[in-house]
Amino acid sequence: MRKAYVAGLAAGISFIAMGAARAVEIEYWQYVFDSRVQAMDQLIEKFEAANPDITVKQTTFPYADYQTRVVAAKVAGQGPDVVQLFYGWTDQFVNGGLIQPLDPAVFPHEEIEADFFPIVSAMKRGDDYYGLPTAVRSLALFYNKALLDEAGVEPPQTLDELLAVAEATTKRDGSGNITTAGITMDMAGQDHHWWREVLVRQNGGVPYDAEGNVAYNDAAGAAALKFYTDLQTEKKVGLVGFMDEGQAAFRAGLAAMTIDGTFRLGAFADNPFEWGVVELPADANGMRSNYSSYFANGIGATSTGEELAAAQKFLQYISSPEAMEIWLETVGELPARRDVALTEANLADPIRGPFLKGLEYAQTTQFYDEAAQRQTAIDMVNRVLLEGQSIEDSLAQAATAEQAIIDQGRQ
Amino acid sequence: MASANAISQTGPVRFWDRLNISTKRVIWAWAFLAVPIIFYAGIRFYPTFQAFWLSLTNWDLLRPAQFIGFANYQKMFADPVFWKVFQNTFLYLIIGTPVSLVISFVIAYYLDRVKLMHGFIRALYFLPFLTTAAAMGWVWRWFYQPVPIGVINGFLSSVGIPQQPFLRSVDQALFSILIPAIWAGLGFQIIIFMAGLRAIPSTFYEAAKIDGLGDWAILRKITIPLLKPTTVFLVVFSSIGFLRIFDQVYNMTSNDPGGPLNSTKPLVLMIYQTAFSSYQMGYAAAQTVVLFTILLIVSLLQLYVLREKK
């Protein structure tokens, strides 16, 4: 008797399970970062409520393993349906067959180009887009209000003002050692982007030519590098390695200014002093530039049929204005659509405002191997500061090394 | 199921019964030995040989590996960074091993004679060995900072000596990393040396004293020669450790791994970066083969030099 009952129950359960199996399950992959995972959980919940026939499973990996996991899953034939990737990995992901182009019927190119910030073009290869971002990042100058007030100076708007403010806020001990830096110097942080996309351009050059080859080995590049290394050697307002890292020096209240990105807002939120943000300083002619980057979401190469349709729906949702609002509130990253980002309220916001203005004129470097290319910038500055190499020689050596990385990446 | 087993067992059982007891023992021994051997073959030897093959390909994880002959080796030997790294690796070895062995022997030699709080002092020396290399690397990294937070530079400044760049210098950085690396390994080496010292029969010393030998002569004629097996073990062990140094370097220079300007980069860190940052698996495998060869040669050489003379 009991057996029959259990059998009946089992049959009932399997019947329900069959009903559930008709719904599509898709997998979403991103790396572990608390607020990003929470934001995605919220988005998935809302998406599933609107699309009861689709379930989304979120899988996360530590950042250090992330790329390796995606590759390993592809080799095993079990890739995700929707996958997050840094824009700089696009070449590797496309060449490796990890992601597929977005169907223009679902994601029309005119709409993408009209609605998103122009930096989204970094996801385009040939005639195809390979992903869309939810949020974007840009750089700005963070300043310590207390230190600036103490020195009686205002946040700088130009590079000349930057030097003046840095000089006014730098403190030194009896032997001339810096005890409070005017500005942090940390090429391993965001300074290499500042140098590449901002300082080189402000000196009249371009970091890369139209084909993506290194183009900074000229007078403009040399002037930009000299401006940067002079901060330590001539002006003595900063010191590479001071307090170990630029962001650590700023957090400790021992640096008056630092250049960093939107992603640092969370870490700086509980700084025990008042701080503010201004746009990256303009040059003498008022010319400004910025560096923007983002993580995009692409569709996995193995996704087909109804899973592909579900994945497209999900990607549409997480690139929608609603999703961007949620992402902005939860993670603090800027919306990738112009009309969602550039609202009156956002632009007037003392923190978000400067980052958003920076997005309007931001550049996005096409990296082949970001870590290795950053290393060439770190080494370039170190050769000048530690080995006394001339600006021109160090610049030329960096250009050769970086071009070799680019050539290797194109193979 | 059961009946099927019974039938199939009859053959082997008869065969088994025909074997004599010593053959059975050998078979049993091999049956047990087979487990670790198969494990080792699968986990160690197969990947090792696979690495040799990979070093001849351009595998980058994403695309299938293509055979490219010795191109990776040509690239490596033409790369100045590789030679710099090669030199660093040997600096770690030829400074680290003798210095750490001399210091640990001296400490063990005198600690052996200390009776007061012997256990406590020994524990103090052993403590760094128990500490995670990463945690220790970070503590030392902060010791070496410039003022206002660096302890060492704070002290130098207070006595009127100009502050030193330490990790921010192409000349000082490697030594700055070696010091904590040597310090971390001392505890282990001291314990092993002390065990070696205790194992020398005291009758030798008594005989030497009766013959009127001084401390120095006893050390040279009795202690050091009889410690040879211990020394051989520690030289090999510590050499391999310094050739494979990674944790200290990576944690003390993580903003610019192996920097500044590759002045602290050991071979293992270069392999790590090539493989897991640039995803050039074939090239990384070629570097691994070189490291493997160095480890093999150094180990064999040391065993040969320090071999027991019959």
For residue B168, what is the nearest residue in chain A, using CA coordinates?
A: A241
Q: What mean pLDDT is predicted for residues A224-243?
A: 95
* Least confident among A10-14, A130-134, B71-75, B207-211: A10-14
Model-level pTM?
0.84
The verdict on a CB contact (< 8 Å) between B146 and A173 is no
Task: Please report residues of B whose CB lies closer than 8 A to that of A177.
Answer: 146-147, 157, 163
pLDDT score of A179: 92
Match 């140098």 to its residue by tokens. Answer: A195
Substitution target in B62, B155, B277 with the highest count of A β-carbons within 10 Å is B62
B282 to each of A256, B67, B160, B211, how far by Cα in Å?
46, 10, 52, 64
Q: CB distance from B135 to chain A under 8 Å?
A: no
How confident is the model over B1-30, as a mean pLDDT?
Answer: 71
Instruction: Say if the Cβ atoms of A177 and B255 lie within 8 Å.
Output: no
Q: Alpha-carbon torsion B249, B250, B253, B258, what sign?
A: positive
Q: Which residues of B touch A179 (CB under 8 A)?
A: 147-148
Question: Using CB atoms within 10 A of its CB, is residue B304 exposed (0-12), middle (13-18) or buried (19+)?
Answer: exposed
Tell me the C-alpha distance between B57 and B67, whole Å.
4
Res. B1: pLDDT tops 50? no
Q: Which residue has the tokens 């021109």?
A: A392
Strand order in the sheet with A275-278: A171-172, A178-183, A255-261, A139-144, A275-278
Query: pLDDT: is B20 or A257 the higher one?
Result: A257
Kindly list the structural domains of chain A, giving each domain's residue range(s) and its CATH number in brackets, ordered by start: 25-137+293-363 (3.40.190.10), 139-291+368-410 (3.40.190.10)
| Residues of chain B contacting A239 with CB distance shorter than 8 Å | 146
Q: What is the tens place of the pLDDT at every residue in A72-126?
A: 888 777 889 999 999 988 888 888 888 999 999 999 999 999 999 988 988 998 8
Cα B27 to chain centroid distance, Å, stands at 36
- The string of pLDDT tens digits covering residues B89-124 is 999 999 999 999 999 999 999 998 888 888 898 888
- The 10s digit of each residue's pLDDT in A325-345 is 999 888 888 999 999 999 999
Does B164 touch chain A if contact means CB atoms closer than 8 Å? no
Give A124's strand partners.
Answer: A129
Model pLDDT, residue A26: 94
- pLDDT bracket for residue B272 (50, 70, 90): very high
- A382 neighbors B260 (Cβ within 8 angstroms): yes
User: Is it the case that residue A242 has pLDDT exceeding 70?
Assistant: yes
**Residue-level pLDDT at B118:** 86
Give the whole-angstrom CA distance, residue A374 versus residue A402.
Answer: 9
Polymer length in residues for chain A: 411
| pLDDT attached to residue B305 | 79
Do B142 and A188 count as a contact with CB atoms less than 8 A apart?
Answer: no
In tens, the pLDDT along B21-40 reads: 889 899 999 999 999 999 98
Q: Touching check for B149 and chain A: CB below 8 Å?
A: yes
pLDDT > 70? residue B7: no
What average pLDDT does range A223-243 have in this prediction?
Answer: 95
CA proximity to B184, closest of B235, B232, B229, B245 = B245
Chain-centroid distance of CA A128 in Å reads 22
The pLDDT, as a whole number, for residue A408 is 85
Q: For A360-401, how does the pLDDT look when each residue is reduced to its tens digit (9 = 90+)?
A: 899 999 888 888 899 999 999 999 999 999 999 999 999 999
Question: H/E/C letters for each residue in chain A?
Answer: CHHHHHHHHHHHHHHHHHHHHCCEEEEEEEECCHHHHHHHHHHHHHHHHHCCCEEEEEEEECHHHHHHHHHHHHHCCCCCCEEEEEHHHHHHHHHCCCEECCCCCCCCHHHHHHHECHHHHHHEECCEECCEEEEEECEEEEEEHHHHHHHCCCCCCEHHHHHHHHHHHCEECCCCCEEEEEECCCHHHHHHHHHHHHHHHHCCCCCECCCCCECCCCHHHHHHHHHHHHHHHCCCCCCCCCCCCHHHHHHCCCEEEEEEEHHHHHHHCCCCCCEEEECCCECCCCCCCEECEEEEEEEECCCCHHHHHHHHHHHHHHCCHHHHHHHHHHCCCEECEHHHHCCHHHHHCCCHHHHHHHHHCEECCCCCCHHHHHHHHHHHHHHHHHHCCCHHHHHHHHHHHHHHHHHHHHC
Neighbours of A366 (CB within 10 A): 15
Q: Where are the domains of chain B?
A: 2-54, 79-305
Nearest by Cα to A330 from A40, A91, A44: A40
How confident is the model at residue B137, as a pLDDT?
A: 92
Nearest to A188 among B165, B256, B273 (CB): B256
The per-residue pLDDT of chain A, averaged, comes to 90
Q: Above 50 in pLDDT, residue B4? A: no
Query: What mean pLDDT is predicted for residues A264-271?
Result: 85
Residue type, A299: I
Q: What is the chain A residue with the closest CA to B58?
A: A411
Q: What is the pLDDT of residues B219-267, one digit of tens each?
A: 888 899 999 889 988 998 899 999 999 999 999 998 899 989 999 999 9
Answer yes or no: is pLDDT of A42 > 90: yes
Neighbours of A6 (CB within 10 A): 10
Q: Residue A265 pLDDT > 90, yes or no? A: no
In contact, B304 and B235? CB cutoff 8 Å: no
Which residues in chain B touch residue A175, judged by CB atoms under 8 angstroms apart?
Answer: 157, 162-163
Q: Find the residue in B nearest to A75 (Cα).
A: B62
User: For all residues of chain B together, what is the average pLDDT?
Assistant: 89
| Residue B68 confidence (pLDDT) | 93
Question: Is B255 in contact with A188 (Cβ distance < 8 A)?
Answer: yes
Q: pLDDT, tens digit, for every residue of B185-205?
A: 999 999 999 999 999 998 998
Residues of A in contact with B71 (CB under 8 A): none
Please report, in angstroms and rounded to a whole number, the separation of the first and last CA atoms in chain A. Answer: 70
Task: Report the 10 Å Cβ neighbour count for A53.
Answer: 10
Mean pLDDT of A249-274: 91
Q: Do B157 and A382 touch (CB under 8 A)?
A: no
Cα radius of gyration rounded to whole Å, chain B: 26
- A378 touching chain B per CB within 8 A: yes
- The CATH fold assigned to B79-305 is MetI-like fold (1.10.3720)
**Does the structure show a pLDDT above 80 at A12?**
no
Q: Chain A: residue nearest B81 by CA?
A: A401
Nearest CA among A308, A346, A305 for reference residue A324: A346
Question: Is residue B138 packed enough to be buried (19+ CB in 10 Å), middle (13-18) or exposed (0-12)?
Answer: middle
Residue B3 has pLDDT above 50, yes or no: no
Residue A222: per-residue pLDDT: 97
| For B140, nearest residue in chain A (alpha carbons) | A244
Three-state secondary-structure class, residue B204: helix
A248 touching B, CB under 8 A?
A: no
Most confident stretch, A51-65, A145-159, B51-65, B245-259 = A145-159
The predicted pLDDT at position A385 comes to 96
Q: Do B157 and A175 touch (CB under 8 A)?
A: yes
**pLDDT score of B6 more than 60:** no
